[in-house]
Amino acid sequence: MSKISEWSVSDQPIHKLQQKGKAALSDAEILSLIIGSGNKFKNSIDISKEMLAYSNNDFNMIAKMTVSDITKLYGIGKSKATSIVAAFEISNRRQLNDAMQKEKISSSRDIFNLMNPKLADLQYEEFWIILLNRAHKILSIKKVGQGGVSGTIADPKIIFNFALQDLASSIVLCHNHPSGNYKPSSQDNSLTKKVKEGGKLLDIDVLDHVIIGENNYYSYADEGEL
């Protein structure tokens, strides 16, 4: 194993970034800066290349790894693995902040762009609602349920309690399928119908129910199911 510190200064990722800018770095070099130093067998560049090869050069797959996954697969300590997980979470939150800036929900793509950073990397299901005013501007976003790999429970009473607290005129339902299959289940259909009917009684419109999986989504509204 050759140590990165023994390379010429122009080839070392930290100096390359400082001298040439972030765009000059390869994916492996950027990842290596997060990792820092390697282990006794491999430098951080070698570990980064292994991670990218294992994930088919897809950062989305790396983002789904837990601290435990990274330490077991690549022989690095919990501290470095935690730094990797934290770095990807920063990216997710930046995407969420960018989406929130738009404020107004106009389409299912807006919903996906808003919620995908929260849900895409989870290995279990979460159910969220987006609360909107009459102009379809976002009042708040609330998590109403969390479950396992194959399902989650969303209680309509909790959903409408949040909606009434915020005096929402309409709501959007959203949850993820960790399997990557974003097609609705019979349970999803049943819940959507139940919440839609409940909303009519309270004069709260259910604008859509979006199911997210593997960077794609299903929209009940787009499919004419609402």
Compute the Cα dihedral for 65, 67, 59, 103 and give only its sign.
Answer: positive
Helices (H) and strands (E) in the chain, counts: 9, 5
Task: Give the class (CATH, top level) of 104-219.
Answer: alpha beta
| Global pTM value | 0.60
Average per-residue pLDDT for the chain: 86
Confidence of residue 88 (pLDDT cuts 50, 70, 90): confident
Mean pLDDT of 52-77: 82
At 195, list the tokens: 């919440």
- Where are the chain's structural domains? 8-93, 104-219
pLDDT (tens digit, 9 = 90+) per residue, 168-188?
999 999 999 998 899 999 999
Measure CA 67 to chain center: 16
Q: Which residue would you say has higher pLDDT here, 151 or 81?
A: 81
Angle, CA of 115, 118 and 123, to the nearest 5° = 120
**Alpha carbons 199 and 176: distance in angstroms, whole number:** 22
pLDDT beyond 80 at 1: no
Confidence of residue 151 (pLDDT cuts 50, 70, 90): low
Confidence of residue 96 (pLDDT cuts 50, 70, 90): low
Among 87-96, 137-146, 158-167, which is the least confidently predicted range?
A: 87-96
Burial grade of 74 (CB within 10 A; 0-12, 13-18, 19 or more): buried
Among 16-25, 119-128, 147-156, 171-180, which is the least confidently predicted range?
A: 147-156
Strand partners, 138: 132
pLDDT beyond 70 at 148: no
- Side-chain-side CA neighbours of residue 198 (13 Å): 16
